[in-house]
Amino acid sequence: MAGFIVKRMLQAIFATLIVTLLVSYAIRLTGDPALMLTQGAGSITEADLARIREALGVNRPFLVQYFEFLRGMVTFDFGKSFLGGTSVGLLIKGALPSTLVLAFWSMLVSIMISIPLGITAAVHRNKMVDQVIRVFSLVGLSFPNFWLAIMLVLVFSITWNLLPPSGMVGSLSYIMPSVTMGIILTATNVRLVRTTMLETLNAQYIMVARAKGLSERKVLYKHALRNCAIPLITYLGLQFGGLLGGIVVIERVFNWPGMGTLAFDAVGARDYPVLQATIMVLSLMIILVNLAVDIIYGLVDPRIRTE
Amino acid sequence: MNKFLKTTAAVAVMAIASMGMATSQSMAEGKLSVSVALDPGSWDPIDTFLVAWGAVGSNIFDGLTERDTNAKLHPGLATSWEVLDEGVRIRFKLREGVKFHNGEPFNAEAVKFTFDRLLGEIGAKGPQRANYTSVESVEIIDDYTVDFHLTQPDPVLLTKLAGYGAMIVPPKYITEKGEDYFNTHPVGTGPFSFVSYEPKVDLELKANPDYWGDVAKVSELEYRFISELTTAVAELQAGRLDIVEDLPISMLSVVKDDAKLDVVSTAGPTVYGLRFNTRDGITANKDVRKAIVMAVDRSTIIKSLLAGEAEEIASFQSSLSFGYDPELKPLPYNPEEAKKLLKAAGVAPGTEIQIDIRAGKPTFNEVVQAVGAYLQTVGLKAVIKPYENSVFLNDIVPQGKTGALFQQSWGGWTLDYDNTAYLLYHTGQKWNPYGTDAKLDAMLEEQRPMTDVAKREELLKNIAAYVADEALEMPLYGLKAIYGVNKRLEGFVPAPDNRVKLNTVSIKQ
């Protein structure tokens, strides 16, 4: 197990390096931060721009800048934002918890909806209930997530004035972003739960469980669901990564002060240090979650543990 | 959750604090909430050019001069000034009895400190210094008199002193607390003082009861950073924001249809137009350029596509700009005349004409579609080519790789035509990839050092008339500064440049 974890960690570090290298290089192709900073200026000369570039340190060769970023990473010094010189570490410290909390609630909403729905659909396979659930999940898959967000805001904030339309201000403000994200995830999760459940229900041990007279409830939730867990956990783990990506859009619509908003503003301002660090932290998160999924496997399934 | 508790605690503390304030000061009541599109990250005046900074900073800091909502200059922290030695020395008399929010006195020393800092090592790292390079040094004459020594006459300097970089900062505070602390805990002499700042979330201010001008009529002022305008408008509709600036044309009807909200607008500094490639192709011919301008009905575009929230322009400046000539009229809409001119110039019907624009600007995109349709009516086939923003600004325009027409928008904050004209028309300038007109160059150079205001204005008007006569561009419109405002506000005056001073605003009970 230890060797396995070390190997995966090394892979993770390598993947992070590749991701940050690509992002750092790509953002530098899209424009000059000195120009962005002086956009509102009346009379800016080349000499002024050169002076600002030097102050920002972007006049040096790309690899020098990149290695400095890596060095900072090792010492947990992410540098300073080009916008106002705020410490990047501080910005991430403020934004990361907000994003994680939102991701957590979104996953929870999705699990709470998709497991009962998926099981119901599987049990009533090809009946009316199943068809309705499948149509709804298809609809859920098809519409864009920001559209759902805007509709929720229109109904719950503007028409009924029940929930704050944006920001992270009190527990009520968590509802719409997590529900939006949660519903988007639910669409695929319902289908996944339904399919794995169907496979499991055909297994012989289910027949045995039923034959020995267990209640249907016990059969479903004790025997069948536990055996569905492995594909579900794998999928949810991978989904968490995708979730962190999708959250950028949702965060922007709900003005959620998280990593997505941070990255979005950083792209707009060509704020290299903030963007590099945000992407690095997000990719590390995704890699770590995948690692965690592998480890949890062993805990859930004794067969893997003994191998 | 921790953050939630912290916010709740902060709100509770503030609520208690404001209750205390309400008893001592019955005038100031209520809390104003305003959206700001981007968190500038630092509240230090010399760190930024972002309009987001200006919107907020103008309520915390003051300059020696001040510009009102009609873009006219007024005394600010200086009560009067005198231009001496043929424009290379300006003597300012300073306002007495003014204190910074931390209690530090405002005096000649503060002015000298501000400019030494701006023009010294710290200012060199930031973008603002570029605007003040004509200042050589500031000399203290007595506690309330300073002399500005200039390297050369700078007729725009008095306007620039109302700009971000020249906001007066407290010497003792910055020296004691350090630069980094000042960035996130600003102290100035303005109508509102700092309470708290949470990066990317909000900035809270409170009324400054000792303000030298009109003391604020609300006790609290909150700026919330909301980058998505749709979200800001939703907050406005939900009654959780009082003011949203820079409303996009596409959202005007949403705000107008809401009984609780108003759309308030005023002439703005930003102008839009299409410039010509005067070097190659059919647009090298002046008559063809004139024909193209005359083929487009600009007033209909303003009425139907811009909801009337724009003004027609004859030169590349808004009506607020120094050098604006109300007598100068744009070329009339006259498709018949345009056809004649095109025919005389030997342009065959069906000739293709390429218009380069920046992608992702929905309103301007619609305008250009309309322009294309108008050109069709005089027999030109318009091809619209969108570019990604930075490609357009770095590789296409400055390199002279545009089609026959290309988009230009310009929002000179100094509202002085020199700032626009010199950079757009002088030979060799970055934004002038095609023109090499010695006569125009001479005129542009001549007005720069002039200290005679009237003479300089006359010359600027001549430059605008010359450019219009040469038809170097198709001036389209000057967009108004548009605000969405909750009707519960009283005394809101829209500012052309986002720098709305909120001390005049009160909340109707």
The CATH H-level superfamily of B271-479 is: Dipeptide-binding Protein; Domain 3 (3.10.105.10)
Residue B285, pLDDT > 70, answer yes
Residue A243, pLDDT > 70, answer yes
Name the pLDDT band for A43 (thresholds 50, 70, 90): low
Residues A83, B39: Cα–Cα separation, whole Å: 8
What mean pLDDT comes out for the span B323-335? 95
Residues B365, B357: Cα–Cα separation, whole Å: 8
What mean pLDDT comes out for the span A84-100? 91
- For position A40, what pLDDT does the model report? 61
Q: How many angstroms separate the most distant Cα atoms in chain A? A: 86
Residue A235, pLDDT > 70, answer yes
Residues B291, B280: Cα–Cα separation, whole Å: 17
CA B354 to chain A, closest CA, distance in angstroms equals 24
CA B209 to chain A, closest CA, distance in angstroms equals 29
Closest partner CB to A42 (pick from B39, B184, B413): B413
- Which DSSP state fits B281? S
Best probe of the B interface among A52, A154, A169, A254, by most B CBs < 10 A, is A169
What mean pLDDT comes out for the span B305-312? 94
Q: In Å, how far are B105, B119, B227 from B52, measured between CA atoms?
A: 28, 23, 11
Name the pLDDT band for B272 (thresholds 50, 70, 90): very high
- For position A1, what pLDDT does the model report? 63
A95: chain B residues, CB-CB within 8 Å = 200
Q: In Å, how far are B276, B324, B340, B433, B465 from B329, measured between CA atoms?
A: 19, 11, 21, 26, 9
Other C-beta atoms lying within 10 Å of the C-beta of residue B153: 18
Residues A51, A17: Cα–Cα separation, whole Å: 30
Residues B249, B363: Cα–Cα separation, whole Å: 7
What six digits make up the tokens of B70?
A: 């009609």
pLDDT, one tens digit per residue, over A173-220 is 999 999 999 988 888 889 889 999 998 888 888 888 888 888 888 888
Q: Check: CB of residue A5 under 8 Å from CB of residue A12.
A: no
Among positive and negative, which fits the CA dihedral A154, A157, A160, A163? Answer: positive
Ranges for all domains in chain B classified under CATH 3.40.190.10: 3-225+482-507
Amino acid at A295: I
Domains of chain A (ranges, CATH numbers): 89-306 (1.10.3720.10)
Which chain B residue has its CA at the smallest distance from A270's CA? Answer: B390
Strands (E), chain A: none
Name the pLDDT band for B42 (thresholds 50, 70, 90): very high
Residue B347, pLDDT > 60, answer yes
- For position B22, what pLDDT does the model report? 40
Q: What Rg value do the Cα atoms of chain B yield, rounded? A: 25
DSSP H/E element including A151: helix A145-152
Least confident of A112-116, A246-250, B186-190, B302-306: A246-250
- For position A302, what pLDDT does the model report? 64
- For position A42, what pLDDT does the model report? 57
Best probe of the B interface among A32, A80, A83, A87, by most B CBs < 10 A, is A83
- For position B239, what pLDDT does the model report? 93
A90 with B240: Cβ contact below 8 A = no
In percent, the amount of chain B with pLDDT more than 70 equals: 94
What mean pLDDT comes out for the span B172-201? 95
What mean pLDDT comes out for the span A86-91? 90
State the CATH class of domain B3-225+482-507.
alpha beta
What mean pLDDT comes out for the span B194-221? 95
- For position B252, what pLDDT does the model report? 93
Q: Which of B77, B110, B272 is nearest to B191 (CA)?
A: B77
Q: Which residues contact B501 (CB under 8 A, 6 or more apart)?
A: B58, B59, B191, B495
What mean pLDDT comes out for the span B47-56? 86
Q: Check: CB of residue B252 under 8 Å from CB of residue B482.
A: yes
Residues B123, B294: Cα–Cα separation, whole Å: 47
Least confident of B125-129, B142-146, B238-242: B125-129
What six digits make up the tokens of A204?
A: 């012989």
Residues B25, B336: Cα–Cα separation, whole Å: 68
Give me chain A's average pLDDT, please. Answer: 85
- For position B241, what pLDDT does the model report? 95
β-pair type (B220-225, B31-36): parallel
What mean pLDDT comes out for the span A79-99? 90
pLDDT, one tens digit per residue, over A127-151 is 999 999 989 888 888 878 788 888 9
Give me chain B's average pLDDT, please. Answer: 90
Interface of A with B in 161-220 (CB under 8 A): 161, 164-171
Residue B12, pLDDT > 50, answer no
At residue B39's C-alpha, the angle toward residues B37 and B40, to 5°, is 115
- For position A237, what pLDDT does the model report? 80
What mean pLDDT comes out for the span A152-159? 92
Name the pLDDT band for B5 (thresholds 50, 70, 90): very low
pLDDT, one tens digit per residue, over B109-137 is 999 999 999 999 988 888 888 889 899 99
- For position A37, what pLDDT does the model report? 78
Residues A269, A32: Cα–Cα separation, whole Å: 9
Q: Which residues contact B384 (CB under 8 A, 6 or more apart)?
A: B354, B355, B357, B368, B369, B372
- For position A36, what pLDDT does the model report? 77
What mean pLDDT comes out for the span B18-23? 41
Residue A307, pLDDT > 60, answer no
Q: Which residue has the higher pLDDT, B125 or B215?
A: B215
Residue A41, pLDDT > 70, answer no
B131 with A42: Cβ contact below 8 A = yes
Which chain B residue has its CA at the smallest distance from A152's CA? Answer: B234
Residue B7, pLDDT > 60, answer no
Chain B contact present for A52, CB below 8 A: yes
- For position B10, what pLDDT does the model report? 47
